[in-house]
Structures are given as C-alpha cells and as structure tokens.
C-alpha cells in the first residue's frame, strides 16, 4: 500500500478533480488518510487521519453522522487491518458535525479517549443548554427582505437541532496550545488556531514535518469564519492571527480535512491573507450607507450573487458580516444602525 508521498498526493488530487472519494493512503509510515463521504455537500468528503501509537490507533476527526460515513470509516480501518476496538484516542480538530459527528459511535465501539480544545468543549456545552437562535431575525437584521430571510433561515449552519449537538461528546481530555496529547506519539504537537471555531486545533507531526490542518488551511478554498447569531467577538481577527502563527512552521506537507494534501504552507497562507485583505478593501468601498445584505449582493463571488442559493447564500451573507465586524474593529467602517445594519466608511 505504501507509495511515495508525491505519487500519493497526485492520486488524491486527481480523485478530487474527478469528484470521487479518494483511496485510503499511507501518507507516511504509520500515518494514513481515511476519506469518508460528506452527504449533500459540494465538498464531497472529509479526510480523517489514523496515526499509529504505542497505545493503539489515534484518529484525527471522525466524519459526518450518517451510516454511509460510518461504513466508509470502518472500511478504511479494515484496509489498515484494524478494528474499531483498536482506536485508543480521537483528536478533534473542531466540533463541526462533519469532523465530530461519528465520535460518539466510535467511542461506544472502542472506549477511546476524546481530545479537544477547551473552547470548543465550552461551545458544545453552550449549544446543549441554549434555546434555538432566532435565525430569521438575524437575517432580517442584516437587511434581508422578509421573504429571503424566511427562505434562508432553515439552511443556516447554526440551526442544527439540539439533538445533533447531543450526539457529539464533550472531550474528556482538554488540549491546550503546545500540548502533546499522545504519550505513545510524543512528536505530535497541538497547535491552537482559533478562527473557524474558537477552539480549532491543528496537529503537527514534528518527526515527519507534517501539519494536519483540519479546516484551518485548505488547498483551494478559504474556510467559513463567522460566529453564531447572538455571539460577540471578532473571529476574523483571530483567524488571520492563526494563519500567521502557522505560516513558518517547519513542515513539508499539509494534510487538510477536505480536498487534497499539498506542500508550500507559507505560499498558501500568503494567498489566503491576500484574499482576505482584498475582500476587506472591496467591502470597505461598498460600505456607503448600506446594509450588510446589499453589500453582500454587490461584492464579487465565484458563482456571482445570483448563483448563490440556500446555505451558499447564507455563508456569503455571514462572511460579509464577519468582514464588516473586523473592519469596524479597525475603525475602517462604522455601523450607524443595528436593526437593520447600516454601514458607512469611518470618518
């Protein structure tokens, strides 16, 4: 099964281009990528990773909470000649359902320890105790017409029912920046990279010079950076700082959770930083006594605004709002109204 890393990377990239589920690959000795499908998503699949340790097998992320995803994960373990009972640890990059959705089922099969950052553990606790957020009100406050708000509300990322959060266990091992959570693999170091979520973690395998980047750094797209309705803060500031934090790590290859693995971490991060600065400048120019909704409608999108629907349009709206909040923190724009938002260039 082992092949050269360069050959494997090409095969994984070709599978992505063909819109196929990639093969299970041994990326380095004792490190495998385990693809599982992501039903209903244009991303297509999630890349979990299995790492051999002295205690058994550690998994980085688990996949979506669906039977077909579980079957794919089990098939991937079988390629390794391993059973779910041999999984001793699960390392969660972040607590979105496509990364953490199968964890409870795996823990029930294996008794594995679950590791995550304290910020994501705290967020899960809040979601379990929270009432459903007023999604339609949030969209209307961004300046959307009532009919658009009604259509988009059901597709909002943060509108998962409480039962979905209840299926995702809170970690029993809380990981901090710089921790080495696997005694059987001490060269694995946790790197806290808040932004996509407050507790997002990357994992650096120092001996192999690999970075398991979760959703923090992807080869082609930028991750969604926002906050659920009602939560304060400036996630884009945190995210940009986290990009700079990992830019100069001594790694030769990045293993992301979506798409395909790649090299030149610094070059990719420079592209992403440049993308966000150009987006900030574009949004700043559009903020002239205008709502978040109208700014989102007028700025550039890869599909064009008219090509966005449902969750894609919701993502575009919330990304615009996140960039505006960041510009506000830099005193580059000011919000003159909140119900709905009205933005103007700061004087």
Query: What is residue 268's DSSP assignment?
Result: H
Spatial separation of the C-alpha atoms in residues 246 and 265, rounded to whole Å: 8
Taking only the tens place, the pLDDT of each residue in 315-334 is 899 999 999 999 999 999 99
DSSP strand pairing (188-192 vs 201-205)? antiparallel
Q: What is the predicted pLDDT for the residue at 158?
A: 43
Q: Is the pLDDT of residue 99 over 90?
A: yes
Q: Is the pLDDT of residue 5 over 70?
A: no
Residue 270 resides in a domain: yes
Q: Which residues contact 112 (CB under 8 A, 6 or more apart)?
A: 59, 87, 88, 89, 90, 106
Residue 326 resides in a domain: no
Confirm if 234 and 321 have CB atoms less than 8 A apart: no
Confirm if 87 and 34 have CB atoms less than 8 A apart: no
Look up the CATH number of the domain holding residue 103. 3.60.15.10
* Domain coverage including residue 143: 5-281
Domain count, the chain: 1
Residue 146 resides in a domain: yes
Spatial separation of the C-alpha atoms in residues 198 and 336, rounded to whole Å: 28
Taking only the tens place, the pLDDT of each residue in 125-164 is 887 765 555 688 889 999 999 988 888 876 544 444 445 5
Give residue 3's pLDDT band: very low, low, confident or very high (50, 70, 90): very low
Give residue 241's pLDDT band: very low, low, confident or very high (50, 70, 90): very high
Residue 109 resides in a domain: yes
Spatial separation of the C-alpha atoms in residues 94 and 215, rounded to whole Å: 8
3 state DSSP class of 276: helix
Least confident stretch, 74-78, 173-177, 335-339:
335-339
Q: Is the pLDDT of residue 60 over 60?
A: yes
Give residue 2's pLDDT band: very low, low, confident or very high (50, 70, 90): very low
Q: Which residues contact 325 (CB under 8 A, 6 or more apart)?
A: 234, 236
Task: For the chain, give the percent of residues with pLDDT over 90.
Answer: 75
User: Among the residues of the chain, which ranges form H helices?
Assistant: 5-17, 67-79, 97-100, 103-110, 118-129, 135-141, 146-153, 162-166, 235-247, 265-286, 292-298, 310-329
Residue 99 resides in a domain: yes
Q: What is the predicted pLDDT for the residue at 154?
A: 64
Over residues 292-314, the mean pLDDT reads: 89
Q: What is the predicted pLDDT for the residue at 210?
A: 98
| 38 vs 303: which has the higher pLDDT | 38
Q: What is the predicted pLDDT for the residue at 73?
A: 98
């Amino acid at each position: 099964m082992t092949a050269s890393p360069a050959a494997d990377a090409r095969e994984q990239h070709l599978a992505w281009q063909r819109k196929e589920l990639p093969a299970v690959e041994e990326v380095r000795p004792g490190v495998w990528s385990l693809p599982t499908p992501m039903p209903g998503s244009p991303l297509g699949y999630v890349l979990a990773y299995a790492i051999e340790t002295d205690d058994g097998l550690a998994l980085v992320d688990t996949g979506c909470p669906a039977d077909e995803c579980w079957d794919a994960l089990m098939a991937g373990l079988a390629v390794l000649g391993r059973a779910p009972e041999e999984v001793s640890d699960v390392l969660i990059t972040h607590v979105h359902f496509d990364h953490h959705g199968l964890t409870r089922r795996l823990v029930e099969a294996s008794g594995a320890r679950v590791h995550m950052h304290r910020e994501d553990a705290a967020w899960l606790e809040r979601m379990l105790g929270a009432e459903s957020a007023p999604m339609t009100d949030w969209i209307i406050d961004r300046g959307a017409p009532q009919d658009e708000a009604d259509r988009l509300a059901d597709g909002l990322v943060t509108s998962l029912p409480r039962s979905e959060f209840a299926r995702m266990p809170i970690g029993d091992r809380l990981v901090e920046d710089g921790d080495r959570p696997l005694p059987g693999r001490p060269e694995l170091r946790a790197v806290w990279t808040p932004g996509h979520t407050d507790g997002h973690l990357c994992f650096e395998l120092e001996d192999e010079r690999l970075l398991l980047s979760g959703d923090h750094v992807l080869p082609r797209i930028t991750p969604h950076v926002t906050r659920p309705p009602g939560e304060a803060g400036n996630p884009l500031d945190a995210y940009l700082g986290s990009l700079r934090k990992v830019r100069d790590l001594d790694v030769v290859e990045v293993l992301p959770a979506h798409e395909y693995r790649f090299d030149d971490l610094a070059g990719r991060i420079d592209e992403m930083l440049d993308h966000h600065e150009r987006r900030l400048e574009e949004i700043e120019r559009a903020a002239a006594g205008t709502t978040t909704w109208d700014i989102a409608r007028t700025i550039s999108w890869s599909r064009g605004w008219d090509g966005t629907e449902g969750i894609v349009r919701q993502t575009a709206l919330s990304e615009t709002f996140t960039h505006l909040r960041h510009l506000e923190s830099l005193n580059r724009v000011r919000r003159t109204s909140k119900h709905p938002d009205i933005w103007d260039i700061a004087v």
